Amino acid sequence: MECIIIDDEATARSVIAHLCSQVKSLEVVEEFSSAIEAIKFLNKNEIDLIFLDIHMPNFTGFDFIETLKEPPKIILTTSDKNFAFEAFEYDCVLDYLLKPVTLPRFLKAIKKVEKRHSQSIKKETEVNTQDHLYVNINRRLVKIEYNKIYLIEAKGDYVIIKTEKENYTVHTTLKKIIEKLPRSLFLKIHRSFVINYTRIIDIEDNSVLINKDVVPISRSLRPELMKKINLL
């Protein structure tokens, strides 16, 4: 899971980053001392988890959550135990960590996140029973068969769906399109890329070659890819 850390204190960010390094399934992609900068990042990128401080100058953690239309999973980090009740009013908040955060307590929080993550994947798998989807291209609904897609790339508020014959630019998010895709064919391997892993030509270091595109693999997502491929 790819995550970001938002805390105005550098020491606090370092502690959370160190704890994350102890968990193979976590990859810290960015750290922010300002919630405003984090919002700018999230407008262009999708991540799985946010470690969020509650008390920050001019902009509280709750203010930050209110700005997000589709917030990812969030673990709140704070020295103040008085906001726990308010915190769990938000469905996206999975845990509330009091500073200083210990490794055992941190791992307990991550287990909650992984459980929710697994439940989401299971739900997506149950929903995806069709062999195609329709996309809106210039007011036309165009049918695209799943097995014709080899790569989907996020570009800000758009995604590019790549097939061997044509590429389609659609106004949506990677998160929304992942919900439509069958897990039997597709896998997110980077915060900006989803691939049809049955179309991989080769894998080298931290990238895959698929058709003519070289696609990066996130450290935290590589183990899931290796489980999917039929490795001799």
> For residue 81, what pLDDT band results from cuts at 50, 70 and 90?
confident
Check whether residue 179 and residue 88 sit in a common domain: no
Give the integer Cα–Cα distance in Å for 189 and 1. Answer: 10
- Count of domains forming the chain: 2
> For residue 121, what pLDDT band results from cuts at 50, 70 and 90?
low
Q: Is 205 left (phi over 0), alpha (psi -120 to 50) or beta?
A: left
Among the three residues 126, 145, 168, which one is the final residue of a domain in this structure? 126
Residue 185 near residue 204, CB atoms below 8 Å: no
Q: What is the CATH number of the domain that holds 207?
A: 2.40.50.1020
**End-to-end Cα, the chain, rounded Å:** 26
Q: What is the CATH number of the domain that holds 92?
A: 3.40.50.2300
Check whether residue 87 and residue 160 sit in a common domain: no
Check whether residue 139 and residue 161 sit in a common domain: yes
Q: So what's the pLDDT on residue 64?
A: 93
Check whether residue 116 and residue 12 sit in a common domain: yes
Check whether residue 9 and residue 96 sit in a common domain: yes
Is the C-alpha dihedral spanning 171, 30, 67, 46 positive or negative? positive
pLDDT at 152 over 90: yes
Check whether residue 173 and residue 150 sit in a common domain: yes
Check whether residue 104 and residue 143 sit in a common domain: no
Residue 214 near residue 208, CB atoms below 8 Å: yes
Give the integer Cα–Cα distance in Å for 68 and 65. Answer: 5
Check whether residue 109 and residue 57 sit in a common domain: yes
Domain extent, residue 54, equals: 2-126
pLDDT at 123 over 80: no
Check whether residue 136 and residue 113 sit in a common domain: no
pLDDT at 182 over 80: yes
pLDDT at 189 over 60: yes
Work out the mean pLDDT of the chain and round it to a whole number: 89
Among the three residues 111, 126, 141, which one is the final residue of a domain in this structure? 126
Q: So what's the pLDDT on residue 222?
A: 87
The encoded tokens of residue 225 equal 């890819």
> For residue 124, what pLDDT band results from cuts at 50, 70 and 90?
low
Question: Average of pLDDT values for 8-12?
Answer: 94
pLDDT digits (tens, 9 = 90+) for 214-223: 999 998 888 8
Give the integer Cα–Cα distance in Å for 80 and 38. Answer: 22
Among the three residues 126, 146, 170, which one is the final residue of a domain in this structure? 126
Lowest-pLDDT choice from 15-24, 62-71, 97-106, 126-135: 126-135
Check whether residue 156 and residue 119 sit in a common domain: no
Check whether residue 120 and residue 77 sit in a common domain: yes
> For residue 59, what pLDDT band results from cuts at 50, 70 and 90?
confident
Residue 217 near residue 156, CB atoms below 8 Å: no
Q: So what's the pLDDT on residue 129?
A: 56
Residue 58 near residue 11, CB atoms below 8 Å: no
Check whether residue 175 and residue 220 sit in a common domain: yes
